[in-house]
Homo-oligomer: A and B are copies of this chain.
Amino acid sequence: MNDIIKLKNPPHISSYYSVVGSHERSGPLGACFDEYSSDDRFGKDSWEKAESEMQRLALSGAIKRGDFKESDIDALLAGDLLNQCVGSSYGLIDFDIPYIGLYGACSTCALSLALGAILYDSGASSACACVTSSHYCASERQFRFPLEYGGQRTPTSQWTVTGAGAFILSDTGHAKIKEIVFGKSVDMGINDINNMGAAMAPACIDTIKRYFKNSNHTIEDFDLILTGDLGFEGSEILKDLLLREGLDIRDKHADCGLMIYDLDAQDKHAGGSGCGCSASVLAGSVLRNFEASTLNDILFIGTGALMSPMTLYQGGTIPSVAHLVHIGR
């Protein structure tokens, strides 16, 4: 594999749909999202079931909006943060479509788009769907503390987005997936679960450096270099360290975790995170800008922290990964 996979027959992102919770609806992008739940429950009696319901709604919405039938979709690529990825496996059980389960933590949206694009490029798929989600309440209970505990958050901690995004890769659309760089896992010794941005930034730096080292493109060729989700802390580290390497992305950079909330007004500390963050920002906002022709060429780099609570209890540090997808016309 060259570091950069250039697709010979790149798929279009033919349809997309976003579903979010109440905090995301109240944020700066609130009006962009397709669907929301005012109590984050989506009519279900547990947070985990609510997350699954978001996946179901997101995929149903993307199928409908793209004028597809369920039988047109020949593969689902899906993942989430819950143990054994049950947000996806339960959320998508009603669809009679082959199911490919992924785990890339918060990088899963980018990973699913990358693998889906290769399935299309190879001819194995003519229309596949990529679906990812996260839920704040389910994640807090699983990774940190149950909400009832009322734990205090540190300033570097990120807020897991309650949201899901679904994308259908097929023949027509306003944006294409043109290039892919799969990330290497990187571990620089961070072991603070409340500073995931710092853990993920080095993986993101590695992937971006590999892209620009092996590409004919320069930073100036892109309208946007979009990371998801480094938050405030990780974004600063990313920009600083890339600058030292001679890559100045400061004018082009945005982070899904910083876009989705008003950090101060919504008291969201270092910003959003979770598989549903970049998925909902991409589906809710970024791809609409391709449709409106205000964006033409972007790099989207999904970043994920690949630890578990167990590995941290056992003294482990946090390995991370960042997958890059070049979305253009």
Residues of A within 8 A of B (CB): 1, 5, 8, 46, 48-49, 74-75, 79, 81-86, 89-90, 92-93, 96-105, 111, 115, 118-119, 121-126, 128, 142, 180-185, 187, 306-311, 314, 316, 319, 321
Contacts and interface: CB of A to CB of B under 8 A. Distances in A.
A311 B50 CA distance: 12
A304 to B, nearest CB: 8
Consensus secondary structure, chain A interface: mixed
B187 A93 contact: yes
Contacts of A102: 100-103
A101 B100 contact: no
A92 B126 CA distance: 33
Contacts of A93: 185, 187, 319
A88 to B, nearest CB: 8
A101 B99 contact: no
A85 B103 CA distance: 7
A270 B278 CA distance: 43
A140 B164 CA distance: 31
29 contacts: A1-B74, A1-B119, A1-B124, A8-B123, A48-B310, A82-B308, A83-B308, A83-B310, A84-B103, A84-B306, A85-B103, A89-B185, A89-B306, A90-B316, A90-B319, A93-B319, A96-B184, A100-B102, A100-B115, A100-B182, A101-B103, A101-B321, A102-B102, A102-B103, A103-B103, A118-B118, A118-B119, A122-B122, A124-B180
A89 B200 CA distance: 14
Nearest to A45: B314
Given A89-B319, A115-B115, A122-B121, A99 B307 contact: no
Contact of A184 (B81, B99, B125, B321): B99
Tell me how many chains of this kind the complex includes.
Answer: 2
Contacts of A308: 82-84, 86
Contacts of A75: 1, 182
B48 A314 contact: yes
A317 B281 CA distance: 32
The residue among A48, A81, A180 with the most chain B CB atoms within 10 A of its own CB is: A48
A105 B181 CA distance: 26
Contacts of A115: 100, 115
A95 to B, nearest CB: 8
Contacts of A185: 89, 92-93, 99
Contact of A105 (B82, B84, B119): B84
A298 B181 CA distance: 34
Contacts of A101: 102-104, 111, 306, 321
Contacts of A97: 184
Contacts of A184: 96-99
B310 A99 contact: no
Contacts of A96: 184
A48 B319 CA distance: 15
Contacts of A307: 84, 86, 89
